[in-house]
Chains A and B, each alone.
Chain A
Amino acid sequence: MNVVYFAWVRERIGLPQETVKTDAATVNDLIAELSEREERYAAAFADISALRVALDQELSDFDAPLDGVREVAFFPPMTGG
């Protein structure tokens, strides 16, 4: 699964994107899995309320299932306009 990061999430993790092998059932499970891996993930995912998630480029929820999803994106709330 392709996992992409934007803005300060990207900076904190130190990568714009990566391929992650996972059996995580939901976004929350994926976050828990990544956070256990390394401190930089734990730091980026420390406060979920400061984050948004998109599944295959559609805004989604943290309890959404990952079944069939190809791309997960994590980023802070958007500031367009």
Chain B
Amino acid sequence: MTVRVQAEPFDAGAELNAFAQGRTDIGAVVSFTGVVRDTKGDLQEMLIEHYPGMTESAIAKIAQEATTRWALTDVLVIHRYGPLKPGAPIMMVATASAHRAASFEAADFLMDYLKSRAPFWKKEVTAQGAAWVDAKDADEDALKRW
């Protein structure tokens, strides 16, 4: 299990290759990459704030929970903080298992929990000013299916 919280950019393709490389015990790798989206065409920057210390332990706990629920061979979570430009990767999740169902479900579970249980906050900066992104009720509701 690897959890990284970093300001630096990452190469999702290279991370994914390294994650699966040389392993003969896995039959499926599922990955998700979150990208800074410019919804209205005026986004200058996305500022990501986090709670150093709690962030790492909260993600580790979520990843640990995933490994107890599904037969996973490995889990990777990378999440960035700081100022990010539109199009930049914010985070990625990868799960490896013997069969695809576990990998898909665990990645979905990880994403739902990372969205509303890992201490990150997003602020959108546009020419009109800066505004914190509100959490959505749907994100909280998404946890109920697990």
Contact = CB atoms under 8 A, between A and B. Distances in A.
The answer to whether A binds B is: yes
Interface of A: 4, 6-8, 54, 57-59, 73, 75-81
Interface residues of B, number: 27
Interface of B: 34, 49, 51, 53-54, 57-58, 79, 90-91, 111, 114-123, 132-135, 139-140
Contacts of B122: 79
Contacts of B132: 7-8, 76, 79
Given A7-B49, A54-B51, A57-B57, A79 B79 contact: no
Interface of B is mostly: mixed
Contact of A76 (B34, B111, B121): B121
A81 B136 CA distance: 12
A36 B61 CA distance: 36
Contacts of A54: 51, 54, 119
B54 A78 contact: no
A79 B135 contact: yes
B116 A80 contact: yes
**CB-CB nearest 8 A-B residue pairs:** A77-B135, A80-B120, A57-B54, A7-B121, A81-B115, A80-B118, A79-B122, A80-B114
A75 B54 CA distance: 13
A57 B114 CA distance: 16
A53 to B, nearest CB: 11
Contacts of A81: 34, 90-91, 111, 114-115, 118, 120
